[in-house]
């Protein structure tokens, strides 16, 4: 695809979102499409002074937004979902152009945004506290939840819109303004999303009901992330990215006693037991390992296969890997698009070379289509049969590499599965009830997401998303994840004429 075509497509899409053409040419940050490496925009970076003004505006917005009733705040999110439904195809296409995802996945990411908005609208009437039994007669205790304050949201290139929406939809109904720092590889998607939210805001109600500064986008690099982490005016920073990035953001926020919600590395594993339905497992492995060109935090990277079925499954995997169509992600039928850039390709090749030195047998992994697109990085997904779980396998390489290892005993496989620093998503394929229950028990997988007979990739928004250990411990999207965006208050009300103290303490003086 020529630069002109991608450039014009991008400009047309952003124009439909209401973004002025000069926005795409008046800056110093070049934006390239991984599809062919061509430049599709040059936009303005924000500096520290810009960010300071955004945070000040968010503070002012918070003072008014927190007083809007939560169901009314939910109405804004409902209106945003309407915009997303109307522009699903266009926004999904922009995701494909800027992040390199196939169209199916780009559309799926926007659908995920719609789903979380629907969830948040219902949640806006369910921000429940509790009534707590008091030990003192004539007293009542209440737990309630109140808006927290402006939220800083840092997102990664691989899910340039969905992960922001997990945070944004919930934070908005909880009463919190948003400041979004997207990846500098995918800033155009953030401008599009904020423009659509702006349209929802325009429809939301009377101008004096909407505070300025409710949602803002800060474009830039790591220096803006550091500034968000350091600013005491942001009580919560939600950051998605590498474990290395989380290791920098977390301590900075902790030094000022702020809260973090961290979604970091995955390095996810699957166990395929002797009783597994291999047809089912094969399909799950393929999508989880090669979907999004292996650039999901939930991508399958480690596969533990029982000795009795390993040869059969590996033969079938090699066959389907050879059939996968690699190419332009916006062309029908493509299943694997490009890596995000040269650095990702280099990291993948270095990992495959190390695997060979460790005794691994590598199938695939080579660069393809370089003659057609010399500035883009397409690769054939790699299958690597390893003699054991080496130090390399314990590191996450953000590329389509699947390390395959054999096992004899389930407890041995579980121990190896858990013997990595990350703890996001996991999976077992088995038709043995005991094996399934053991994997999901306290002695089984140590991950935040544990699946049976489905792969580790492709979580629904109804469940809390996140993991343990170096994955960061955060939870986003469904379940009770909304509590991260609010502050908890415990209130005791005395409706008696007495003043008994807790724990039966007596503390009296003669007041006569």
For 490, what's the count of Cα atoms within 13 Å in the CB-facing half-sphere?
A: 5
> Longest C-alpha distance within the chain, in Å?
97
Asked whether the CA dihedral 86, 90, 94, 100 is positive or negative, the reply is positive
By the 8 A CB rule, do 302 and 395 touch?
no
Q: Which of 105, 263, 435, 470 is catalytic?
A: 263
Calpha distance 177→61 (Å, rounded): 7
Q: What is the DSSP letter of 388?
A: S
DSSP secondary structure of 430-468: -S-HHHHHHHTSTTS--SSEEEESS-SS---TTSEE--E
DSSP, collapsed to helix, strand or coil, labels residue 509 as coil
By the 8 A CB rule, do 245 and 239 touch?
yes
Phi, psi of 383, rounded to the nearest 5 degrees: -105, 130
Calpha distance 26→388 (Å, rounded): 52
Calpha distance 184→160 (Å, rounded): 10
263 is catalytic: yes
Report the Cα–Cα distance between both ends of the chain, in Å, rounded. 92
Neighbour-count burial for 341-367, b at 16+ CB within 10 Å, e otherwise: beebbeebbebbebbeebebebbbbee
Residue 273's DSSP bridge partners are none
Q: Which of 117, 193, 297, 447 is catalytic?
A: 297
Q: How many residues does the chain have?
A: 512
297 is catalytic: yes
Number of Cβ atoms within 10 Å of the Cβ of 205: 14
Calpha distance 93→129 (Å, rounded): 41
By the 8 A CB rule, do 398 and 297 touch?
no
Q: Indicate which residues carry an active-site annotation.
A: 263, 297
């Amino acid at each position: 695809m020529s630069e002109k075509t991608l450039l014009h497509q991008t400009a047309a899409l952003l124009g439909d979102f209401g973004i002025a053409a000069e926005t795409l040419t008046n800056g110093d940050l070049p934006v390239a499409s991984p599809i062919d490496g061509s430049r599709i925009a040059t936009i303005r970076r924000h500096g520290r002074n810009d960010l300071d003004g955004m945070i000040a505006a968010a503070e002012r917005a918070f003072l008014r937004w927190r007083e809007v009733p939560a169901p009314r705040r939910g109405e804004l999110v409902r209106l945003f979902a309407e915009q997303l439904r109307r522009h699903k195809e266009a926004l999904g296409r922009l995701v494909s152009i800027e992040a390199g995802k196939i169209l199916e996945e780009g559309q799926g990411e926007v659908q995920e945004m719609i789903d979380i908005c629907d969830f948040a609208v219902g949640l806006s009437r369910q921000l429940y506290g509790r009534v707590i039994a008091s030990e003192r007669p004539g007293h009542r205790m209440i737990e309630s939840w109140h808006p927290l304050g402006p939220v800083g949201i840092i997102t990664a290139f691989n899910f340039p819109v969905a992960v922001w929406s997990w945070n944004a939809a919930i934070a908005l109904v909880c009463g919190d303004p948003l400041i979004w720092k997207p990846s500098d590889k995918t800033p155009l998607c953030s401008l599009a999303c904020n423009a659509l939210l702006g349209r929802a805001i325009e429809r939301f109600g009377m101008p004096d009901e909407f505070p300025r500064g409710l949602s803002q986008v800060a474009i830039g690099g790591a220096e803006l992330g550091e500034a968000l982490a350091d600013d005491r005016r942001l009580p919560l920073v939600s950051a998605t990215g590498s474990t290395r990035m989380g290791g920098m953001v977390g301590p900075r926020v902790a030094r000022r006693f702020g809260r973090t919600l961290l979604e970091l590395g995955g390095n996810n594993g699957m166990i395929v037991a002797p009783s597994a339905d291999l047809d089912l497992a094969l399909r799950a492995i393929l999508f989880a390992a090669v979907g999004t060109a292996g650039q999901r935090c939930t991508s399958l990277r480690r596969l533990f296969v029982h000795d009795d079925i390993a040869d059969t499954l590996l033969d079938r995997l090699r066959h389907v890997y050879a059939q996968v169509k690699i190419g332009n992600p916006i062309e029908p039928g493509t299943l694997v698009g490009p890596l995000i850039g040269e650095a990702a390709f280099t990291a993948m090749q270095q990992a495959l070379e190390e695997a060979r030195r460790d005794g691994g047998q590598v199938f695939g992994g080579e660069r393809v289509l370089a003659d057609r697109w010399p500035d883009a990085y397409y690769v054939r997904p790699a299958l690597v049969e390893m003699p054991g779980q080496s130090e390399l396998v314990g590191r996450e390489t953000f590329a389509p590499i699947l390390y395959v290892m054999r096992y004899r005993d389930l407890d041995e496989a579980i121990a190896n599965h858990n013997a990595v620093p990350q703890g996001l998503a996991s999976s077992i394929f088995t038709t043995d009830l005991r094996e399934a229950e053991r994997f999901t028990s306290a002695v089984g997988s140590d991950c935040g997401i544990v699946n049976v007979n489905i792969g580790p990739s492709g979580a629904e928004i109804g469940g809390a998303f996140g993991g343990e250990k170096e994955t960061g411990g955060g939870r986003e999207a469904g379940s009770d994840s909304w509590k991260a965006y609010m502050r908890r208050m415990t209130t005791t009300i005395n409706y008696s004429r007495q003043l008994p103290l807790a724990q039966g303490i007596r503390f009296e003086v003669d007041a006569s």
